A and B are shown apart, each in its own frame.
Chain A
Amino acid sequence: MAEKTIIEEAKKGKIVVMASRDVMSKIIPKSREDAERVAVVVVGEK
């Protein structure tokens, strides 16, 4: 996700989470509703 898109997602009210794929697999929203509030950006790909 480009920097501009990250900002646009945040402006739409999304919580943008940036982490490696491994870390992202450990970050689990508590509910489906919470999951829908997140935009995910995978970083640090090998």
Chain B
Amino acid sequence: MSFSWFVEPVTEFAAAFKGVFWHDTISLVIPPLPKPFDVYYVPSKDFKSLIVGLTFGRALVLDVATNAWREPTPNEYVDKLPKIGVFHRCVDWMDWHWDPLVDSLGIGGKFVYPQLGFATYEKPYELRLVNPTDLIVFMDATFWVVRFPREVECPIWGDEKAVCDVEELFWRFMKSRVLNQMALGRAFWDALRTPQDVSSFVNAFKRKVVEGRA
């Protein structure tokens, strides 16, 4: 099972700013729901939680005659499981969308469902369970989290004693990575267009990138 595709920059940021790796696992038995069930996932007031992945366990169906749990039949998988699931969102990071209990979402723990968003006490992760079928289903889910202090040292604004909001700093960190790559790409492109041979290309690139001269 592979982890989220953006784990490398997240790992750098977590290591630098005292992130604590974490997961929260929950199991649910979901009966037929005449109307949706709304619930929040609310981190502690003391932290901001960067959710980096979700894994969904396999869905099992209750045989109500025998009280035995079993795998869904192919007919149930096609006709009913696409109607059972969860809407979810993470304000500012992920919009509302629908996750039915189907294999392509990694149901059964086949892969980590990538997430990237801060959930906080003031801005919790929101979920809406839906089951308009006649099935009673079991499922489990794990939130993979990096938990940060709400405020961390802020090394980019010139005052080493300053602190800043960790979510704001993360956004700046990611943006700086992209801008850095774009600046390198621009310098590379400029150097590539002008030189006549390899040595002049290298020198032009060095002037642009290492010495900061055009």
Contact = CB atoms under 8 A, between A and B. Distances in A.
Interface in A11-32: 11-20, 22-23, 26-31
A12 to B, nearest CB: 8
B86 to A, nearest CB: 12
B174 interface: no
B20 to A, nearest CB: 13
B142 to A, nearest CB: 10
Contact of B62 (A7, A23, A43): A7
A4 interface: yes
B129 interface: yes
Contacts of A45: none
Please report whether the interface of chain B is mostly helix, strand, loop or mixed according to DSSP: strand
Which of B27, B32, B124, B126 has the most chain A CB atoms closer than 10 A to its own CB?
A: B27
Contact of A23 (B24, B29, B39, B64): B24
A16 B28 contact: yes
Given A11-B31, A11-B64, A16-B29, A28 B24 contact: no
Given A18-B26, A23-B24, A13 B39 contact: no
A23 B67 CA distance: 27
Interface residues of B, number: 25
A7 B37 CA distance: 19
Interface in B96-121: none
Contacts of A31: 38
B40 A19 contact: no
B31 A26 contact: no
Given A7-B67, A10-B62, A28 B29 contact: no
B38 A13 contact: no
B101 to A, nearest CB: 15
Contacts of B25: 19-20, 23
B136 interface: yes
Contacts of A14: 31
